[in-house]
């Protein structure tokens, strides 16, 4: 008697279109990336009882369809695009089109056991939207400040006015973010824990809660790997290469970098750790990454034990 094979669906996401492919049956079709198309796709995949849906992270275009599919009870994995590219190269799939990409994504899901995305609750979605918008406005402010240094004459006034508007908009968002963190008892408790660590402010705390909900539920090696802070070997035979980090959640690494810079100045434990590494001849960048990893593992232990930071807390 033949065993039923698991059906894995790959979705190549663009702004307007969802290219869908499934394995092992080889079915392919398209759906529009709007409310009507997503609804029809959700009904079709639910009726087909697919085992796994895989799609790339595409800067937000995948959010609506992923949320709808997860809400319908389907197992959904949203993976880093580089993982798909590396898989395609390793398996000799060098041709590229949206339909081919969908087949590659489906094959990746069949061959690999990707991380399953959990559906964030409404509070988490709203906070994430605020944090994303703040990041966008901060980037716009940096661009305008750079333009101001190059501009001459009357245009400078308009740029200055825009910078002032952006600064006020960022301030309003930060107030909304703080309010969101304080309005939920569960979020407030976790926020208090994270901010008790010298070097973690409200923006970093909120971003960690939204962007790394696994914090407190994994071991120190697992949490470091999830953030892309676990060093990977580069050895061959008797050659020992330099360890390096890659992959993981880039947004979290950026936040931890800023937290490490702050903590080296204000947190005696991290400052002493950094200075000890530098005294051993470690390059500045290596020492900073080590501080980032140490901060993350300490935060992980704090959340796991529900204990505010003290210098005695050890990473676990």
- Let me know: does 5 contact 23? Beta carbons within 8 Å: no
Q: How many CA atoms are closer than 13 Å to the CA of 86, on its beta-carbon side?
A: 8
Rounded Cα–Cα distance for residues 128 and 208 (Å): 10
Rounded Cα–Cα distance for residues 164 and 145 (Å): 11
Would you give the distance in Å from CA 123 to the centre of its chain? 18
The length of the chain in residues reads: 316
Q: How many CA atoms are closer than 13 Å to the CA of 184, on its beta-carbon side?
A: 15
Domain ranges of the chain: 8-111, 121-183, 185-316
Of 71, 67, 21, 66, nearest in space to 48 by CA: 21
Question: Alpha helices, DSSP H only, in the chain?
Answer: 35-48, 63-71, 81-90, 98-111, 122-150, 155-183, 185-195, 202-211, 220-226, 250-266, 268-279, 284-305
First to last CA, the chain: 48
**Over the stretch 226-284, which tens digit does the pLDDT of each residue have?**
888 876 544 444 444 455 555 667 888 888 999 999 999 999 999 999 999 999 999 99
- pLDDT (0 to 100) of residue 312: 67
**Cα Rg of the chain (Å, integer):** 23
Q: If you search the block for the tokens 């305008």, which residue do you land on?
A: 144
Rounded Cα–Cα distance for residues 7 and 142 (Å): 46
Lowest mean pLDDT among 57-71, 78-92, 231-245, 266-280: 231-245
**Over the stretch 114-160, which tens digit does the pLDDT of each residue have?**
877 665 666 777 787 888 888 889 889 999 999 988 888 888 999 99
Q: DSSP string spanning 163-219?
A: HHHHHHHHHHHHHHHHHHHHHSHHHHHHHHHHHTSTT--HHHHHHHHHH-TTTTSS-
Rounded Cα–Cα distance for residues 217 and 195 (Å): 19
- Let me know: does 34 contact 41? Beta carbons within 8 Å: no
Lowest mean pLDDT among 27-36, 238-247, 291-300: 238-247
Say if domain 8-111 classifies as CATH 3.40.1740.10.
Answer: no
Of 69, 162, 192, nearest in space to 119 by CA: 69
Lowest mean pLDDT among 2-16, 40-54, 84-98, 231-245: 231-245
- pLDDT (0 to 100) of residue 33: 92
Percent above pLDDT 90 for the chain = 34
> What average pLDDT does the structure give for the chain?
84
Answer whether residue 296 shows pLDDT above 60: yes
């Amino acid at each position: 008697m033949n065993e039923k094979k698991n059906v894995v669906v790959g979705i190549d996401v663009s702004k307007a279109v969802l290219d869908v492919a499934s394995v092992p049956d080889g079915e392919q079709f398209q759906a529009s990336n709007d409310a009507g198309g997503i609804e029809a796709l959700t009904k079709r995949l639910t009726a087909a009882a697919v085992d796994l849906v895989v799609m790339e992270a595409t800067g937000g275009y995948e959010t609506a369809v992923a949320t709808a599919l997860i809400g319908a009870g389907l197992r959904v994995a949203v993976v880093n695009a580089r993982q798909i590219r590396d898989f395609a190269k390793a398996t000799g799939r060098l041709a590229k089109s949206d339909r081919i990409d969908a087949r590659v994504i489906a094959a990746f899901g069949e061959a690999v056991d990707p991380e399953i995305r959990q559906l964030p609750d409404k509070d988490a979605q709203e906070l994430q939207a605020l944090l994303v918008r703040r990041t966008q406005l901060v980037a716009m402010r940096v661009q305008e400040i750079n333009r101001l240094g190059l501009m001459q004459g009357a245009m400078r006034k308009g740029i200055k006015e825009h910078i002032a508007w952006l600064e006020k908009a960022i301030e309003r968002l930060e107030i909304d973010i703080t309010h969101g963190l304080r309005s939920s008892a569960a979020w407030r408790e976790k926020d208090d824990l994270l901010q008790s660590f010298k070097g973690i402010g409200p923006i970093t705390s909120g971003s960690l809660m939204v962007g790394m909900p696994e914090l407190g539920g994994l071991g120190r090696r697992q949490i470091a790997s999830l953030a892309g802070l676990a060093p990977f070997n580069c050895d061959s035979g008797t050659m020992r290469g330099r360890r390096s980090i890659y992959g993981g959640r880039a947004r979290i690494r950026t936040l931890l970098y800023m937290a490490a810079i702050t903590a080296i100045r204000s947190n005696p434990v991290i400052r002493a750790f950094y200075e000890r590494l530098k005294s051993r001849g470690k390059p500045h960048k290596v020492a900073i990454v080590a501080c980032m990893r140490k901060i993350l593992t300490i935060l992980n232990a704090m959340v796991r034990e529900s204990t505010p930071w003290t210098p005695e807390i050890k990473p676990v």
